[in-house]
């Protein structure tokens, strides 16, 4: 059995508090220090969880007070294609975003963008 434990239970809290009051961590055994560490980690975890829950409830209250903070995306009209690949009429481009590879290759070969306009 490890020192500082009785029947698998940690020493009473008052004994560890006495060590902390006197700042006598140097005289504590490794087992006692580990027990203290486990208690601190457990207490810190529970306090952090309580604070997180409190902050989340405050955030929910703010959302209810101010209305839902998320905005819907603005509906954009469908953009019709303006350019068509003469070799494959299924490939089109609306003129927005990055140029398609078929168009880039044609422009490099010396053709103009107006050559691919849909009439």
Q: Of 41, 35, 46, which Cα lies nearest the Cα of 13?
A: 35
pLDDT value of residue 67: 62
pLDDT value of residue 113: 93
**φ/ψ of residue 104, rounded to 5:** -60, -45
pLDDT value of residue 25: 81
Q: Where are the domains of the chain?
A: 5-66, 83-116
pLDDT value of residue 14: 58
Task: Return the biggest CA–CA distance within the chain.
Answer: 90
pLDDT value of residue 3: 47
- Average pLDDT, consecutive stretches of 10 residues, N- to C-terminus, the chain (119 residues): 48 57 78 90 94 92 68 84 93 94 94 92
The H-or-E segment that residue 5 falls in is: strand 5-6
- Cβ atoms 19, 47 nearer than 8 A: no
Residue with tokens 């299924």: 90
- Cβ atoms 118, 108 nearer than 8 A: no
């Amino acid at each position: 059995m490890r020192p500082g434990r009785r029947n698998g239970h940690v020493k009473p809290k008052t004994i560890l508090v006495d060590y902390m009051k006197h700042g006598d961590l140097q005289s504590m055994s490794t087992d006692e220090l580990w027990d203290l560490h486990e208690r601190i980690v457990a207490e810190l975890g529970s306090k952090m969880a309580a604070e997180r829950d409190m902050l989340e409830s405050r955030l929910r209250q703010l959302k209810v007070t101010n209305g839902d903070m998320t905005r819907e995306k603005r509906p954009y009209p469908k953009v019709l294609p303006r350019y068509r690949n003469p070799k494959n009429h299924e490939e089109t481009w609306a003129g927005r975003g990055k140029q398609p590879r078929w168009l880039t290759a044609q422009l490099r070969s010396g053709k103009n963008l107006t050559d691919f306009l849909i009439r």
